[in-house]
Structure 1
Amino acid sequence: MNEAEYRVAVQAARKAWIPLQVFRGRDYVLTLRFRNVDYSAAAIAAEVRNLPDSAGDPLLSFTVGTPVYSGGDTLIPLNITDSETGGVPAAAETGLVAKFYWDIKITVGGLVDTIAAGPVQFIGRVTA
């Protein structure tokens, strides 16, 4: 399945398609907002892998902060440290971006669901 087909499948499943761009060796912070839903009691995990359904350990796992439910929306803070982003494999050729895939999984009341997914591009940095 190529990226376009994966995007169609994710969106057909009524999940959020969220492409990410991350600089290698830099901290990355993202707060996701989900409208009209309360995920404050959910167990949440988010990972980056080579491809969807890749076997083995993820390339990295996001640190998930405490979800906050307010005004009908849930805010979910995610972050990756500079050492984690620096440990992701570089692109095969200098100057190109390395592309992988990520998603975020929630577990609420024993039910497990993916709520967002997409490609994640790791961009080479210029300043050390």
Structure 2
Amino acid sequence: MNLPPAASEALAAFTGAGSWEQRARLLMQWGERLEPLADEERSDANRVHGCESQVWLVSEMKDGQRHFRAASDARLIRGLLAVLLVRVQGLALEELAALDLADWFTQLGLTRQLSPSRSNGLNAVLEQIRKTAM
């Protein structure tokens, strides 16, 4: 599996965390890394429906590649979004289509954080990313 550099960094950080508490703290720290969205980007047009928490997703072209930014009103969700975005940034359409989200969170040791509603919400974000990338 060929991971983007930031995803490799995330994988190393999370697999190196010894306990669930360390991974939870790491998740919060990764959430703080999200590129901020301007107030006008937190619009209904950018809202991801299917998430319990409010989540916004913005896509733009950067250096000839699709680049995604996201925000949420929930700290834990921001962390989950951050590790999702590092996994998808720069992927080709075929790679995005084949991405197994559950497997990625399992590799990170974060499946405990994925309640059915969170899992559904993150899958809704991934679907939005896939649609935008087309």
Alignment TM class, shorter chain as reference: under 0.3
Name the TM-score, length of structure 2 as normaliser: 0.27
Which structure has the highest helix share of the two?
2
Name the TM-score, length of structure 1 as normaliser: 0.28
Which structure has the highest strand share of the two?
1
Which structure has the larger Rg over C-alpha atoms?
1
